[in-house]
Chain A
Amino acid sequence: MIKKFIYLEWKAFIRSASFGKNLTMKIIIGFLMIYFSLIFIAMGVGAFYVLKDMHLEPFSTINRFLIYYFLFDLVIRLLLQSIPVLNIKPLLILPFKKPVIVHFSLGKTVLSFFNWVHALFFVPFSVVLAIEGYNISGIIFWNLAMLSLIYINNFLNIILSNIDKLFIAFVVLILVLGGAQYYKLFDVTVFTTPFFQGLYNINGLFIIPILILIGLYVYTFKYLKNNLYLDAGLSVKEDIAETQNLAWLNQFGTLGTFLKNDIKLIKRNKRSKTTIFMSVLFLFYGFLFFGNSHQPAVMHIFAGIFVSGGFLFVFGQFVPSWDSSYYQLMMTQNIPYRGYITSKWWLIVIATFLSTILASFYLFFGWEIYLTIVVGAIYNIGVNSHLVLLGGAFTKTPIDLSNAAGAFGDKKAFNVSAMLLTLPKILLPLGLYAIGLYLNNKNLGLALVAGAGVLGFVFKDKVFSLIEKRYKIEKYSTINAYKQKS
């Protein structure tokens, strides 16, 4: 019976809209995946030596912070990992036994990206530990325990996913614990480190997380099995709707009409709501670069672009897919493409502008740093906003708005043409800034980047005509692709 399920899953996978196309694309995708995996693996390997360099005992330091690692993992899961509920419905009336259905859907979550991505860190890290002379059996037991903890998070997410906004509680928990530790009020790691360390040192302690995992699986299984009804576990929660007029936007004409719609789109759908959350995360991206002497100076502009560009990258990247479920409607209404694109452009510009203002806390690092961010924002508005919209013409992956999963590197949302368009978004300003640095004049570099942004802004109308043309050419294949619901 399981064979039948796997058959269904396989078909679903290979028949999705963006899969297939042509061989070159597949090869490029393959290379990119290998490339990113290598980066993660390098991080796993590097962690050991970087920590050692900082005169810390690597293994116990990692153990110390594991509590935060797993808490953070749970937050990410609550936000982004969703449970495949809809695919279950057609199976209910077929001669499958309920336990089989539940085991299978739980088994499916086991293979999720959110689980195996951890292996990319833990496996190379463990290999390094083994090479550096740590006890092999200890490492294996420790890894088994880590695996169990990852899957405990996996099943916790399933049970807890019905509770709204729970992730906020966990974020607060992390902030409180982290803050208390930073100000030396209360150090939670004092209690947790011995446990994580013990998983390695004490033979047999690893049984505990495994037992918890088994218990949790049994509980989740029973919970889902008892709720396998259309009006219980399989029901989709209906929100209480409220009509909003947002009449103040009427003064902007057609543009206002679209903006109204986009605001509602973002507010009322899980997937689009996470883009706001991600944009806020991007705001803090600069901390990795500014005031960090390990990073080359040229990377400052890189950070500058990302700090204000969060919304641009996570929302703009998927225009017009946000409207995919009603794209046919848009195409039969009395709207010029230009108006549609312009409204998206304004949305991106407004968000970039707001991010830049919010990012003013970077002034603590000095006005030069903030200037870099402002320059990045100018470039984002002048050039990158056009590039994401142009990339949108090639984005043919329908977005299921109600589904939160997939905001992170979903296989189905992976699009090479759109990927290639991300390169100039980052490489061009990086190059311009590097020229300035090469000539030993940082301000020249900034001026070059800002100049490119202004230039893009000046030629806005021309670029828009180009984008409009592209959208028109792609219209029919886009409509066709959007008809395929995932």
Chain B
Amino acid sequence: MIQVNQLSKKYNNTIVLNINNLEIPKGQSFGLVGNNGAGKTTFFSLLLDLIQPSTGYVKSNDIQVNTSEKWKSFTGSFLDESFLIGYLTPEEYFYFIGDLRHQNKADIDALLAKHEEFFNGEILNNKKYLRDLSKGNQKKVGIIATLIGNPEVVILDEPFANLDPTTVSRLKKIIKELAENPNVTVLVSSHDLQHTVEVCDRIVALNKGEIVKDIQTSEETLQELESFFAV
């Protein structure tokens, strides 16, 4: 589904990301782990054509993302709060994204009803604008908004951060469910090794922009990663 070729990003001669070759097949749930500055967000930003690669390219479903915009119709993503529109209520935000993805109001309402448990009664009908929600609640809105319109690629940057323990376990359930769908490719980045191992089939560890580990998840994966990151 996603092909990365000779991809690198340089800022003033400092290489922040350098991936020679990476292929993510359709339907895989892909976890990206690494310390701060490892290049996780840079990689996702390149995938979403938010920054320009210094060399190489990314292809999503055979569409090169920095030359065509067709990938936008099947990609859902949430990197940070700057993906939210502060002066809308959560409902309005969902309908807005829904309109852009050609979903009608009933589709959105169905999706929201499905994830009512995830919202924990703190999001809908709360008479609050998104800008006035807490960080965790903002994140819940952003995550569910990526699911609108049944995207084939879902990209979540640090989805577990800022969430309460209950919500984390509910989010894991949602991601696992997505991963079970053979048409959906999920990309998740995290600092939290355990969460990532739990929800992903494959884990790639980045360090200073380079891929240092690429493992199919198994019983020993967590231990392997922990010993790798332990100094």
Contact = CB atoms under 8 A, between A and B. Distances in A.
Interface stretch (A84-92, A300-308, A327-335, A430-438): A327-335
A257 B49 contact: no
B88 A238 contact: no
Interface in B60-111: 69, 72-73, 75, 77, 79, 82-89, 91-92, 95-97, 99-101
Contact of B127 (A242, A257, A261): A242
A264 B50 CA distance: 26
B65 to A, nearest CB: 10
A326 interface: yes
Nearest to B129: A241
Contacts of A326: 82-86
B100 A333 contact: yes
B91 to A, nearest CB: 5
B96 A332 contact: no
B72 A333 contact: yes
Main secondary structure of the interface of A (DSSP, over half): helix
B63 to A, nearest CB: 13
Interface in A213-245: 238-245
B72 A332 contact: yes
Contacts of B72: 332-335
B48 interface: yes
B127 A329 contact: no
B82 A243 contact: no
Contacts of A336: 69
B150 interface: no
B131 interface: yes
B75 A332 contact: yes
A336 B100 CA distance: 10
Interface residues of B, number: 33
B158 to A, nearest CB: 15
A269 interface: yes
B115 interface: no
A402 interface: yes
A265 B86 CA distance: 9
A325 B130 CA distance: 13
Given A239-B129, A257-B100, A333-B72, A269 B89 contact: no
Interface string A235-266: 00011111111000000001011001100110
A334 B146 CA distance: 12
Nearest to A336: B69
Interface string A359-395: 0000000000000000000000000000000000000
B52 A476 contact: yes
A265 B52 CA distance: 30
B87 A264 contact: yes
Nearest to A256: B99
B170 interface: no
Contacts of B51: 476, 479-480
A268 interface: yes
B132 interface: yes
A120 to B, nearest CB: 36
A241 B96 contact: no
B86 A401 contact: yes
A24 to B, nearest CB: 23
Contact of B128 (A241, A327, A334): A241
A331 B97 contact: no
A261 B48 contact: no
A483 interface: yes
Given A264-B92, A325-B82, A328-B50, A254 B87 contact: no
A331 B77 CA distance: 11
B132 A238 contact: yes
A144 B85 CA distance: 47
Contacts of A480: 51
A242 B127 CA distance: 6
A257 B95 CA distance: 9
Contact of A335 (B48, B75, B82, B100): B100
A244 B131 CA distance: 17
Contacts of A476: 50-52
Nearest to B76: A332
Contact of A260 (B50, B89, B96): B96
A475 B131 CA distance: 25
B90 to A, nearest CB: 9
A268 B88 CA distance: 9
Given A329-B85, A331-B50, A254 B92 contact: no
Contacts of B48: 331-332
B86 A333 contact: no
A224 B113 CA distance: 45
Nearest to B92: A243
Given A332-B48, A334-B73, A261 B129 contact: no
A429 B84 CA distance: 41
Nearest to A482: B82
Contacts of B87: 264-265, 268-269, 401
Nearest to A265: B87
A332 B77 contact: yes
Contacts of A402: 86, 131
B24 to A, nearest CB: 18
B95 to A, nearest CB: 7
Contacts of A328: 50, 79, 82-83
A480 B75 CA distance: 22
A243 B91 contact: yes
B123 to A, nearest CB: 12
A436 to B, nearest CB: 45
A243 B85 contact: no
Given A254-B99, A329-B84, A238 B50 contact: no
27 contacts: A239-B129, A241-B89, A244-B92, A245-B92, A254-B99, A257-B96, A264-B87, A265-B87, A268-B87, A325-B86, A326-B84, A328-B50, A328-B79, A328-B82, A328-B83, A329-B82, A329-B84, A329-B85, A331-B49, A332-B49, A332-B50, A333-B72, A334-B72, A334-B101, A335-B72, A401-B86, A476-B52
The 5 closest A-B pairs by CB, nearest first: A257-B99, A268-B87, A329-B83, A334-B72, A238-B132
Interface of A: 238-245, 254, 256-257, 260-261, 264-265, 268-269, 325-329, 331-336, 401-402, 476, 479-480, 483
Given A329-B82, A332-B75, 17 more contacts: A238-B132, A239-B129, A241-B89, A241-B127, A257-B96, A257-B100, A264-B92, A268-B129, A325-B86, A327-B82, A332-B50, A332-B77, A334-B72, A334-B101, A401-B87, A402-B86, A480-B51
